Amino acid sequence: MRFCRRFSAILAVSLSLVPANLLAQQNKDRSTEVTPDGPGPVHRRLDDLVGDWDVAIQYKIGEKVQEGKATCDAKWILGGRFLQQDYHSRFQGQPFHVLQILGYENQKKKFIELMMDTMSTSVLHNEGEISEDGKVITNQGESRDPTTKKPVKLRTRYTITDHDHFTLEWYRVDEGGKEEKTVTLRHSRKKLE
């Protein structure tokens, strides 16, 4: 009888520990696995774009090329899923703020680029791919011409030169299929003082 009580007590304690041990092991396994919608190695390729930047701008209005300057603060948001790029400059004497979001959608296996600014209520949405060497991201989408209000195809290209320099170029494609570069943003990492 004593043996049965002791055996029952040991069995009860053992059974109560097994689920806790299994649960702890499952939680440990989950903490190291990458979820399908979590940031992964492709997201890490954007690490070189994080930081504070001085930006030299060239843009085309009509046939005339203009030049300007901007600053850009780029940081990871939403647990490293998206890169938020905040650009501040002046355009025609007025403050101009551009908010750009760049990320990689695991489900589609595509880069996503969203852009909004203080001069319109439009949201630009492009999708694209990265080169094998991880140095060039090319996105394509559609925008509206502010003058004609007609849809215009747009292509953007990020070229990562090194950890301290990258270029973002914008290309418009007209109705006839002719592509023209309209904006070049040359980024240089700000020096720490």
pLDDT tens sequence across 90-145 = 888 889 999 999 999 999 999 999 999 998 888 889 999 999 998 999 999 988 77
- Both tokens assigned to 136: 């060039």
On the question of pLDDT at 60 being above 60, the answer is yes
Percent of the chain exceeding pLDDT 70 equals 80
Chain CA centroid to CA 142, Å: 18
Least confident of 16-25, 57-66, 113-122, 143-152: 16-25
CB 114 within 8 A of CB 98: no
Joined together, the tokens standing for residue 76 give: 């990871």
Residue extents of the structural domains in the chain: 1-33, 41-189
Mean pLDDT (the chain) is 83
DSSP state of 14: H
Place of tokens 């190291």: 32
pLDDT band at 35 (very low <50, low <70, confident <90, very high): low
CB 144 within 8 A of CB 156: no
> What Rg do the C-alpha atoms of the chain give, in angstroms?
26
Q: Which CATH number fits domain 41-189: 3.40.50.970, 2.40.128.20, 2.102.10.10, 2.60.40.650?
A: 2.40.128.20
pLDDT bin (cut points 50, 70, 90) of residue 40 is: confident
Comparison of pLDDT for 78 and 121, the residue scoring more: 78
Residue 36 has pLDDT above 50, yes or no: yes
